[in-house]
Amino acid sequence: MMKSDLRIIKTKEALRTALLKLLKEKSLEQISISQLCREAKINRGTFYLHYENVEALFEEYFREITHDLDLAYREPYRFVQELDLAKLNPKTIRIFNHIDKFKSFYSIVFSRNVPMQYYYLLFETVKTLLLRNSSREDAEELGVDRQLYASYYANAIIGVMMQWYLDGFKLTVEEINIQLVRIISLGSDKPD
């Protein structure tokens, strides 16, 4: 396996940092390559070595973030065939570790100053994760449309993420994991 060139890594980090800073002030469509390069302290030629446009930079970064989210979401499933929500251990939940790792990105997604398109991108990503990890039989057994089921839970998960952001990330990752397990167990404690 080839090692990545340190210059490429540093350039991409500088561009992502600049992109996040600019996204706090304006939408993706309003960010020019010149502004981005000025903020990242690189020249336009260097930018074009890596990306065709600003959207390509955002899409690459978003793909990396959603890949990490996917890994975080799957963590509780790693050592079990079927996840028993009643026995879910807060220490196995990794979604909030992921949010904490990419806090500056999620602060933009959940900000009231940016277009809803970022929220919808996140929603579609989480919904896709849920659809991939739930069986058609589970939804059919409940008599629920699978798309509606996934949409409901995607909004619930994102709602907890957003509230954590709105509260200034005051709870630790461990505390928010415990809260999520308690919320999930509210529905699983009821008798059949």
Q: Which residues contact 50 (CB under 8 A, 6 or more apart)?
A: 8, 11, 12, 15, 57
Contact 179, 96 (CB under 8 A): no
Q: What gap in Å lies between CA 140 and CA 147, rounded to an integer? A: 11
Q: How far is CA 156 from the centre of its chain?
A: 14
Query: What domains are there in the chain, each with its CATH number?
Result: 1-51 (1.10.10.60), 57-188 (1.10.357)
- Mean of pLDDT values over 9-38: 93
Alpha-carbon distance of 56 to 54, in angstroms, equals 5
Going from the C-alpha of 24 to that of each of 7, 15, 166, the distances in angstroms are: 26, 14, 16
Q: Given pLDDT bands bounded at 50, 70 and 90, which one contains residue 85?
A: low
DSSP state at residue 135 = -
pLDDT tens digits for range 33-70: 999 999 999 999 999 999 999 999 998 998 899 899 98
Q: How many helices (H) and strands (E) does the chain have?
A: 10, 0
Q: What's the whole-model pTM score?
A: 0.80
H/E stretch holding 74 reads: helix 54-74
**Could you give the CA distance from residue 184 to residue 170 in angstroms, rounded to a whole number?**
21
Q: Are 24 and 50 in contact (CB under 8 A)?
A: no
Q: What is the mean pLDDT of the chain?
A: 85
Model confidence over 97-116: pLDDT tens digits?
999 999 999 998 888 767 78
